[in-house]
Chains A and B, each alone.
Chain A
Amino acid sequence: MKKSHENPYAVYRMTHDLLHVVYKKGISIDLKAAQHIVRDRMLLQEGKVIPVLCDIRGVKKVNKPARDYFALEGSLWVKALAFLIDPPISDMISDFYLGTHAPSFPTRSFTNKSEALAFLKTVMALVMVFSLGQLDIFAQIGR
C-alpha cells in the first residue's frame, strides 16, 4: 500500500511502515502552514501510528506558534521521528526545537538518510520486543 500527497509546503509518501515527509526548498513555516501540514498528514495516515522520516533540509524558518503547534497538536500518531538535516541551518532548527520542546517519542536528527532509516527501524524493533514484555519503552528512552 503506497499513498502520496502534496501541498504547498511538503510532499508526503506513505508506505505500510513509514511516512516520508519532504519539505519544499526555502519554505518558512508559520502557524497556518503548520496546521495545514499536520492536517494533511493526519488525513493521509487515517489513524495509523507510524514512524516518520521528516526531511527538513529545505526549511528556512519555523516560527514559535508553529513550533508549539508541532510539539503538541502536531505530534499525534507519530511513533518515532527522524529529522533529515543539512547543517548548519536545519541542524540548528531541529536542535533548537528538540531542546525547547521535549518530544514524547524517540526523536533524532541525521544528515544521512540511511542512518535515519536505520534509527527508525531500531526503534520499531525495540518497541516490538518491549511491548511483548509489557514494558513502557518510551518512559525509558525518553529519560
Chain B
Amino acid sequence: MLKGDDFRIKRIQQLLLEMAKGNFFYSLEPTDANDETASLIVMLNMVNEEIRASFLHQGFANAHNTPQCVVQMSLLLDSHGMVEMANQKACSLLSRLPQDVIGNALSELLTEDSQRIWAQKFPKLLKREKSDTVFPLEFKTPEGLILAKDCHLSVFHALDGSGQKILLDTVFFSKGEPFDNGMANNAMMMGKGTKQPKMPMSQADIRLIRNVHDMIINNLEKDLPGLKDLALQMGTNEYKLKYGFKQLYGTTIFRFLTQERLRKTKPLIQYSSLTLKEIAHMTGFKSVTHFSRAFKEKYGKSPSDFRS
C-alpha cells in the first residue's frame, strides 16, 4: 500500500494520463494537508476546469480544428437505489466492469460527500410519482479520480409494474481525435459563422483579443467606443477585432457587453434597494426600457418581476 506523498503522486499521474488522452472531466479529491502536493492537486483540478471550459467553447466557435465528442453516462436505478442498468460508456468512465456496477448500490460509486447528498435526496425523489431534477454528484473511480457533474434524474413508473425507477443521465465532452500538430503550432483560423476559415490568428492576436475581453469586463458601466476606434486603441484592425472576438468568445462584442452587463444587474436587482433606473445607469444601459427589454429577452422575466 502506498502512503502519503507516493499515494497522491500516483493519483496525480493518473489524472495527467487522462488529460493526455483528452479526458478533462476527471478531478482529484482535495486533501486535508496544506502542503505542496496538495496545492498541486488543487491547481490541477482548476487547470482541468479551465481547459474543459475553453475546450468546449472552442469546439463551438471553431469546430473545424478541435474535434470533440459527447460521452453519455446513463444509469438506471430501482426504488432501492440499486443500479439495474449501466451503459457501456458509464462503466468505462467509472473504470469498472459492468458486473461491478450493475446490481450494486449507486452510493458505492460516489464520493463520501455525494453519498451524504444522495442519502438525503433519494427518499425525496421517490415521494413524487414523476419528476425531473438536476443535482451535482461526484463519482469516484477505483483509481481515486473523481467525476463531478450535474446529473439529471428522471423518476418514472415502469410499465411492467415493477415499481418506481430512476434514470440518471449526464453528458461529458471529450476530444474525439488527436490534434494534428498540437495546438501551439496550429494557428487558429478565423471564419465567419460556419463559412470556411478566412485568415489565421497568431498567438499575439489571441492575446490582444483576450485583453479586449478583460477591458470590457472591467469597464461594463462605460460606453464602448465604436469598433473602429476600439481596434485603433488596442492596436489592431476592425476586421481582426470583430471576427477574432467572435471566434474566441462565440459572440459579438456588443452582445457580449450586454450579456455581461445583465449578469451584473442580477445581484443588484435581488440584493440592493436601488431603483431599476439606478441599476440601468450603473451597469451602462442607456435607459430602463432598453435594460428591461434586454433582461426579459435573456432571462424570460422582466427586472421588476425578478425582484418581487
Where the two chains meet, the residues of A that have a C-beta atom closer than 8 Å to any C-beta of B are 26, 28, 30, 38-39, 42-43, 46-47, 60-61, 63-64, 67, 71-74, 76, 86-93, 96, 100, 102-104, 142
Contact = CB atoms under 8 A, between A and B. Distances in A.
Q: Is the interface of B mostly helix, strand, loop or mixed?
A: helix
Contact of B42 (A42, A89, A100): A89
A104 B220 CA distance: 10
B43 A92 contact: yes
A86 B34 contact: yes
B267 A38 contact: yes
B218 A102 contact: yes
Interface residues of B, number: 32
A76 B265 CA distance: 10
Interface of B: 30, 32, 34-36, 38-39, 42-43, 45-46, 49-50, 52-53, 136, 148, 214, 217-219, 260, 263-264, 266-268, 270-274
Given A73-B266, A87-B39, A89-B39, 12 more contacts: A28-B30, A42-B272, A60-B32, A61-B45, A72-B217, A72-B260, A76-B267, A88-B39, A89-B42, A92-B42, A96-B43, A102-B217
12 contacts: A28-B30, A42-B267, A42-B272, A46-B272, A46-B273, A63-B49, A64-B49, A72-B217, A72-B263, A73-B267, A88-B35, A102-B218
B30 A92 contact: no
A104 B260 CA distance: 14
Contacts of B46: 64, 67, 93, 96
B264 A76 contact: yes
A96 B218 CA distance: 18
Given A73-B264, A88-B34, A43 B39 contact: no
B257 to A, nearest CB: 13
B50 A100 contact: yes
A46 B274 CA distance: 10
Contact of B30 (A39, A61, A74): A61
Contacts of B30: 28, 60-61
Nearest to B221: A104
A73 B261 CA distance: 10
B50 to A, nearest CB: 6
Nearest to A102: B214
Given A39-B270, A46-B273, A142-B218, A89 B38 contact: yes
A88 B35 CA distance: 6
A96 B34 CA distance: 16
Given A73-B263, A102-B214, A102-B218, A47 B36 contact: no
A1 to B, nearest CB: 18
- Top 7 A-B pairs, shortest CB-CB distance: A88-B39, A104-B218, A42-B271, A64-B49, A102-B214, A92-B39, A89-B39
A55 B34 CA distance: 16
A47 B274 contact: yes
A110 to B, nearest CB: 17
Nearest to B50: A100
Contacts of A39: 267, 270-271
A3 B266 CA distance: 25
A19 to B, nearest CB: 14
Contacts of B49: 63-64
Contacts of B274: 47
Contacts of A26: 32
Contacts of A38: 267, 271
